[in-house]
Structure formats: C-alpha cells, structure tokens
A and B are shown apart, each in its own frame.
Chain A
C-alpha cells in the first residue's frame, strides 16, 4: 500500500559521501534525465541500489502487514457482497507484497532476508498499519482513505527510474483503484445509513485523521532529503506536496457526506494549499520506533506465521522430481 521515500539522517549523509566512477555515473544520470528506465542488469550507483531496496522492501512489508488489520474483518463482513470484496482486496494486498518482494529481489536481496529484517526490526513498514481497525467503519475508511493516500504516493512513484518497481506499481495502482471504489461505496452506505452507522463512521474518521496526515511523512522543513534521490528519480515529490494532493482529492468527498474531520483549522486557502493543525510529530516518531498501539501485535503475528510455516517451507525445498510437472 505504501513506499516511503523518507531518508534516515545517516543515509542522507552517506548519500553525499559515497564516491562512484564519474564516467559511469554521468552515463547513468543522463539516461535517467532522458526518461529511460534502469533495468536490473544495468550499472547503478551503490546508494541508488541501496535506497531502492530499502524503499521497495518497506513497501512490500507494508502490503503484507497492512493485510492484517483488514484481514481480521473478513470473517465479520456483514453480507456476501462486502465479504467477497474484502477477501479479494486483502488478497490483492498480499499479491502486491509478492510482486514487490520480487521487484526488490532483482536488486540482490532475497525475500527471506527481507522477511527476516522485518521481524528483527531492521526494516520498517508504513506507520499507518500500527493503528487498530476497531469497527466495521474502519474497513470503509481504510479502503477509501488509506488506499487513497497510497494511490497518491504510488502513482507518483510509478514515474520513477527503476523499471521493475515502476511496472509493479502500475499494476498495483490499477488494482488499488478498485479498492478505492469499494471503500467509497462502503463509506457512502455508512454515511447515508442509520444513526449507528453514521456514528461509527464519524468515530473512525476521527481516529484515522492524524495517522493519515502522518502517512506522507514529516513536513519538508523537518525531513532529511536528498537532491540526489530527486535527480535519480527515486523520490519524485515532496511529502508536503503529496499530503496536499491527498487532502485536495479526499477532504471534500468526506465533507459532502456531512461527516467532519476533527480539526477546526482544516481548510483550503485561496492559493490551493490546504491548511491544517500540525499533527503531533513526536507521536509519529514514537510509532516508527515501535511505540504505536499495534506495533508489537503486528510483528508477533508475522513471527507466528513465519515460525508456524517453517516446516512447510522446509519440506518444499526438496521436491520429489516426479511432482515437478505442470499441473494443467
């Protein structure tokens, strides 16, 4: 659902000190400037490879961890239509994870290594999945607004320079746009439904507002950024720009349903820029560093799945030859 382009401070520093062969670097950069895609077998700077692995891996983790809060509502979905749509949606997210792990593998890190790094905390996933899905209305809000936020980010990233990632993102965006339709339909049903349905929807919006603002990362004035990443088309838009685009697309759609956001300062200025109360960025850091409401639970579930499934993976490592034939 999400690939972060935010750099840690150490990474930002190293980006500017690693020395590359100037001739190769120039050829590489002019290819990108011409709009060409970089493919797995092509030469690329060490830091380019490293940042892409970090970003795609984090995106893949976000997909499979993001499946967890929604997954718990599949068994509770209130009718056939919603149930089938939700299973298909969560299945898409897992499929995106699979696709993205493969894209990251083209850069030299295996899926197993990435999953291990998820479990040992070396690599992150999107903060937004460390919040609980408390009611059915959360499923509507996640489907509409979290997926909406993810699409803003992913459509931009799909114009990046690394071929396998761009192609994966194009397909992902196509599927996400269906999730958005399902999410919107679900939001509309709740907003136009009974008193209880409106109440749970309003409550869900109140709880998801800050995590959604946090979703795009710290404000530009606060975040470590690198011109190189922009030049290499790894990062294509600033956090503030993406956040503004999201607010512009989605806030009016919620307001028109007579549902509010818990921020009296939220409004669009005449210059087209949205204004809002600065969310608590210490809370953001706390959640990134493991202190969110569901960090421990999410990792515990993934660990359980990895450990409980180990015997299956081991048994498949040694397939008897006669079964390795096409099925149909």
Chain B
C-alpha cells in the first residue's frame, strides 16, 4: 500500500509545485496590479501545498526531506501532469488553465477529506479551504472575460481549445489506481473526472464558451509515468540553479 500512497502524494505534490512555480512567474507582469497580487497569493498557496505533501512523504513514508524532494530530484522522478508544465503564455491561457486545474484540485481535495489515510485526509481539509478561493478567482475571470469584449471571448475560447486535451491529462491513472480505490484512500480518477466535468461545463456555458469535443487519442498523457513535455527540464534547471552552485550548502 505504501507505494500506492507514495505515488499519489508525489503526483499531487509535483503538480502543486510546478503550477505554483508557473503562477509565481506572473509576479510583476500581470495585466493589473490586482492580478499580480492574486497570482502571487495562489503561488504561495500551491507551493505551500507541495511542501505539506512532501512533508507527509518524509515524515510518514520515509522519503527524503521536502527541500531535497523539490530541489534535488531529476526530471525523470517527477510525476506532474504535462498540463502544469506548460509556460504561462498570455493571460488567457493562464486563467483558463487555472480554471480547469483548480476545479479538479478542489474536487480532489474534497474527496480526500474522506480518505482512509489520515494524514492526507487532515491536510485535505485545510487545503480545500484555500483552493475554494482560487476557484472563485478563476470563475470570476472566466465569466467576465467570456462575456467581455469580442477579443476577450475569442482569446478565452482559443485557449480553452488548446488547453482541453492537456487538462484531461490530469486524470491519467497510475498502476496503483485500483489499490487506491479498494483501500479507500482515494475515490479514483474516473469519478473525479466525471464530477469535474459536471462542475465546469455549466460555468463555461455561462461564460459564453463552447466546451471542446473530446478526442481520446489527443489527451496528453505521460506525466504521471514520468514522460514530460519539453518545458519541465528547463523549469527544473531554473528552479535548482542556486542550489546546484553549491550543492552541500545551507541556504
């Protein structure tokens, strides 16, 4: 069971760390100061979630300490989905990604409050309360920009089309999927995807956006099995730049 648990925690932590890194890239260049502040807050939350999940891996499951897990692993050891690896692009892509990703996160953590694995169930209660605000932020902007100008609607639609098959990669199953479900650790990716679609489709309709048709063959899988996009390696090189200048130093 511990391998299944580790796998679940790694993929969630890596997702949070990498999306947090991407969110933090908006600092100083947002479309208005208020959005700088919002993305900066969300970056802090996400990176904090990653840290908390690595901490469970360390304290309960015997893995290395959180700083080592985040800053000293190789690309091939990461289990994040390729969706979070994508560059921030323009604001329309970042807000659409935030919308799609955070709705999945909120439901995932909500489900995990019932997990048989107590440390995760407890953390989920706290994290859920924070992600609620990330989702409010995303919903507000998706609705307003979808109903804003012709340009804003077109941009959102185009980013949604581009993001759609990437976002479905969030729900890629691991070899431990059945074990996680039978041990009541997690309800499962299929159930999560179903609830996610039920949640986001009505909001996209209010936002005047067309839900793209799903083509199973186009879903971007791989991240959970450590096959990553070309964007992850440069991101990790940047993240570890200082650490690598003096690998044994305390910073």
Name A residues whose Cβ lies closer than 8 Å to a Cβ of B. Answer: 64, 67-68, 71, 74-80, 82-84, 87-88, 90-91, 94-95, 97-98, 101, 136, 189, 193-194, 196-197, 301, 304-305, 308-316, 318-320, 323, 327-328
Contact = CB atoms under 8 A, between A and B. Distances in A.
Contacts, number: 143
Contacts of A74: 24-25, 27, 43
25 contacts: A64-B28, A64-B33, A68-B28, A75-B24, A76-B238, A80-B70, A84-B51, A87-B47, A91-B27, A94-B28, A94-B36, A95-B37, A193-B250, A193-B251, A194-B248, A197-B246, A305-B31, A309-B35, A312-B32, A312-B145, A314-B151, A315-B145, A315-B151, A320-B143, A328-B136
Given A87-B24, A87-B27, A312 B67 contact: no
B212 to A, nearest CB: 21
B216 to A, nearest CB: 34
A83 B99 CA distance: 24
Interface string B240-251: 011101101111
Given A78-B242, A94-B36, A309-B30, A87 B44 contact: yes
A75 B239 contact: yes
B246 A194 contact: yes
A46 to B, nearest CB: 29
A242 to B, nearest CB: 27
A67 B31 CA distance: 15
A91 B242 contact: no
B66 interface: yes
Interface string B81-96: 0000000001100000
Contacts of A189: 250-251
A91 B41 contact: yes
Interface string B144-168: 1101110110010000000000000
B198 interface: no
Nearest to A328: B136
Nearest to B152: A315
Q: Which of A87, A193, A197, A318 is the most central at the interface, judged by chain B CB atoms within 10 Å of its CB?
A: A87
A84 B41 CA distance: 10
A87 B70 CA distance: 17
Given A91-B41, A189-B250, A194-B248, A313 B32 contact: yes
Contacts of B148: 314-316, 318
Contacts of A314: 148-149, 151-152
A83 B47 contact: yes
Given A316-B144, A319-B144, 7 more contacts: A79-B71, A91-B40, A91-B41, A98-B33, A193-B250, A305-B28, A311-B151
